[in-house]
């Protein structure tokens, strides 16, 4: 292990991707001018959040998150030995490293600030969650109301002369800035409470491991699992819509593999069908702002904008309801089980003092942890979907000015380049001559599309640089599953016949694998199959009632695949690194959710 991983400066650019660096801001690239310090650090691939090469604009999702994580860890909560996370792009993929404090005096000083500050948060949690929600709601409201102007041939007399509004070119830039600001503000809020929720969880876990060295994260998860959260609600609405289809007798419209346009056309032709559509409309807001991804890429559209996923899910639920399958998550059972497990561990503690601490930590965890799931809906799904749609409107204006073929092309420019393009477009529109952007951007956009396609076929190494002796940031282990064992396995290239990952949810299942690389393919999953995917985002929930086990390339114990699998009581192995590459659809596999292994039984 001492020799570490490949230097970030020695990573080769895959064929066809030359010039990828130009897509990204200078500050996100490794720089030979500071090679020594950069290559002697430990960088790991954050495939959990960024499993695809980053379109230029989408880098804002990483930047915005790391702005906030560092702000809170380093400058607000003053976590004694951990500052923020730095990120870099390598061949379009996001690598991160944790900045740590090693000076003992500095740690002690930071601790003095840390204790009262986090104490205030935990003591006033409910009030602060309410404050958080109000601030998030206000920003979502402003984002919803934000108008992105087009550039008309002539300004409106009323607006410019009588109402004395700013010109459309000025307002266009202001709207773009406002959208970016609101998105960044939402991401500041993103981590305010989340880090503390993880902190409580990790603390309880360490307490439990001290008392019960044999206990895994899995048992830990089971003690906290079963909470009802906002993130389950969109899926519940799809189940209700499926039930409504049966109730109205229009369920035959939902045939497997049928395009949602055809389903809707058939439904519109009958009164009962129209009643179903009306019912669905009442269910959409805000739950169809659920993204088909994790909320970090522009092309993962909200359900409302891409009905394929919700309709595929409703079709599946309709079939299950017809077969008499109970669609509700076994919530009562899970809650009873989590109480039993917690009570038994509690009883096994050596004394009443330990039991009192166990109660306090478990209580705190259960109190603060639901936020760790529910925040996702408001930030990564609702807020982010709105944000990307506003940027699409900016893209539409630029396309209208001849910069792009399609509004979607705006996502091939990074946030700073969009600014420049808007300056260009605004000036040219005012000046009355064609913008340089009309000839400057089309070839670059085309080239960047080629580069991204080439980068998509490249497999990013799990880590780069030099492994430190100790990694202090506990979230690295919890969220990303970076442990000493995992590092050794990465360093050895995942040697051995098996596929090893994190034992995320207990049980052993054998079944036929279905490899799904894109969320839009989930309609292909058949009943009882083992889902093998790069990373499961929350919006994959509809597929869970169908599958018998889940395997992911990326993810730690708190990743969504792990949480949902535990809720459904099915085995899951996450963070395997390369399951989607080793397993083929149709392979018979054994998923051992206790040992964290996946075995290919036959092709």
User: Which residues in this chain contact other proteins in the complex, by CB under 8 A?
Assistant: 1, 79-82, 107, 111, 114-115, 118-119, 122, 199-200, 202-203, 206-207, 211-215, 219, 341, 344-345, 347-351, 353-354, 356-357, 360-361, 364, 467, 469-478, 482-484, 487-488, 506, 594
**259/348 with CB nearer other proteins:** 348
Peptide bond into 28 cis (omega under 30): no
**23/478 with CB nearer other proteins:** 478
Smallest distance, other proteins to C-beta of residue 196, A = 8
**Size (the chain), residues:** 603
Smallest distance, other proteins to C-beta of residue 573, A = 17
Q: Which of 454, 424, 429 is nearest to 441 (CA)?
A: 424
Smallest distance, other proteins to C-beta of residue 349, A = 8
| Interatomic CA distance for residues 144 and 131, integer angstroms | 20
Smallest distance, other proteins to C-beta of residue 536, A = 24
**218/292 with CB nearer other proteins:** 218
**217/302 with CB nearer other proteins:** 217
Q: Which of 576, 563, 464 is nearest to 515 (CA)?
A: 576
**331/340 with CB nearer other proteins:** 340
φ/ψ of 158, rounded to 5, equals -60, -50
Which single residue is written with the structure tokens 């930030």? 379
**44/176 with CB nearer other proteins:** 44
Smallest distance, other proteins to C-beta of residue 447, A = 40
**217/451 with CB nearer other proteins:** 217
With a CB cutoff of 8 Å and minimum separation 6, the contacts of 329 are 232, 567, 568
Tell me how far CA of residue 541 lies from CA of 168, 231, 295, 570, 579, in angstroms: 42, 9, 15, 13, 20
Q: Which of 479, 466, 375 is nearest to 47 (CA)?
A: 479
Tell me how far CA of residue 484 lies from CA of 467, 489, 509, in angstroms: 10, 9, 27
What is the per-residue DSSP string for 184-220? Answer: HHHHHHHHHTHHHHHHHHHHHHHHHHHH-TT--HHHH
**Burial code of 122-153, b = ≥16 C-beta within 10 A, e = fewer?**
eeebeebbeebeeebeebbeebeebebbebee
**399/466 with CB nearer other proteins:** 466
| Interatomic CA distance for residues 254 and 266, integer angstroms | 10
Smallest distance, other proteins to C-beta of residue 551, A = 22
**339/405 with CB nearer other proteins:** 339
With a CB cutoff of 8 Å and minimum separation 6, the contacts of 84 are 66, 69, 70, 71, 73, 74, 98, 99
**Burial code of 509-531, b = ≥16 C-beta within 10 A, e = fewer?**
bebebbbbeebbebbebeeebbb
Smallest distance, other proteins to C-beta of residue 594, A = 8
Smallest distance, other proteins to C-beta of residue 198, A = 10
Smallest distance, other proteins to C-beta of residue 352, A = 9
């Amino acid at each position: 292990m001492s020799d570490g991983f490949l230097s970030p400066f020695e990573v080769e650019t895959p064929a066809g991707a030359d010039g990828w660096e130009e897509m990204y801001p200078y500050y996100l690239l490794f720089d030979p001018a500071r090679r020594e310090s950069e290559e002697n650090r430990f960088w790991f691939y954050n495939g959990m959040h960024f499993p695809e090469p980053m379109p230029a604009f989408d880098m804002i999702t990483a930047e915005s998150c790391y702005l906030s994580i560092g702000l809170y860890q380093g400058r607000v909560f003053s976590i004694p030995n951990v500052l923020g996370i730095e990120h870099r792009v390598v061949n379009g993929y996001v690598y991160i490293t944790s900045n740590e404090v090693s000076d003992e005096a500095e740690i002690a000083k930071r601790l003095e600030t840390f204790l009262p500050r986090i104490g205030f948060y935990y003591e006033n949690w409910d009030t602060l969650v309410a404050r958080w929600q109000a601030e998030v709601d206000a920003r979502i409201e402003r984002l919803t109301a934000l108008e992105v102007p087009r550039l008309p041939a002539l300004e409106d007399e009323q607006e410019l002369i009588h109402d004395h509004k700013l010109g459309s070119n000025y307002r266009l830039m202001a709207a773009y800035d406002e959208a970016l600001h609101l998105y960044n503000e939402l991401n500041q809020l993103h981590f305010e409470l989340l880090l503390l929720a993880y902190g409580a969880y990790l603390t309880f876990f360490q307490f439990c491991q001290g008392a019960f060295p044999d206990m895994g994260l899995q048992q830990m998860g089971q003690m906290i699992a079963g909470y009802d959260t906002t993130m389950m609600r969109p899926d519940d609405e799809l189940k209700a819509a499926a039930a409504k289809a049966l109730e109205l007798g229009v369920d035959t419209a939902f045939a497997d593999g049928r395009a949602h346009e055809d389903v809707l056309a058939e439904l519109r032709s009958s009164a009962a069908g129209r009643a179903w559509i009306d019912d669905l409309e009442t269910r959409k807001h805000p739950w169809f702002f659920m993204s088909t991804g994790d909320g970090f890429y522009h092309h993962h559209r909200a359900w409302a904008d891409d009905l394929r996923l919700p309709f595929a899910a409703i079709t599946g639920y309709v079939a299950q309801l017809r077969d008499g399958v109970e669609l509700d998550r076994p919530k009562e059972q899970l809650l009873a089980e989590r109480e039993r497990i917690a009570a038994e561990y509690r009883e096994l503690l050596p004394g009443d003092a330990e039991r009192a601490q166990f109660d306090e930590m478990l209580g705190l965890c259960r109190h603060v942890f639901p936020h760790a799931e529910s925040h996702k809906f408001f930030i990564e799904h609702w807020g982010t979907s709105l944000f990307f749609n506003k940027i699409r409107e900016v893209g539409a204006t630029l396309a209208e000015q001849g910069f792009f073929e399609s509004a979607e092309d705006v996502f091939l420019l990074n946030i700073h380049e969009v600014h420049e393009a808007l300056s260009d477009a605004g000036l040219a529109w005012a000046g009355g001559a064609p913008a340089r952007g009309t000839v400057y951007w089309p070839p670059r956009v085309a080239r960047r599309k080629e580069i991204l396609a080439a980068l998509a076929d490249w497999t990013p190494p799990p880590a780069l640089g030099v492994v430190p002796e100790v990694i202090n940031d506990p979230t690295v282990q919890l969220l990303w599953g970076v442990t000493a064992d995992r590092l050794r396995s990465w360093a050895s290239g995942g040697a051995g016949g098996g596929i090893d990952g994190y034992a995320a949810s207990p049980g052993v299942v054998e079944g036929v694998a279905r490899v799904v690389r894109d969320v839009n393919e989930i309609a292909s999953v058949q009943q009882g199959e083992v889902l093998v995917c790069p990373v499961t985002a929350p919006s994959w929930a509809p597929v869970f009632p169908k599958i018998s086990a889940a395997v992911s390339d990326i993810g730690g114990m708190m990743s969504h695949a792990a949480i949902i699998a535990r809720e459904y009581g099915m085995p899951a192995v996450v963070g395997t690194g390369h399951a989607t590459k080793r397993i083929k659809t149709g392979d018979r596999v054994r998923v051992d959710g206790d040992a964290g292994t996946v075995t290919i039984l036959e092709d």
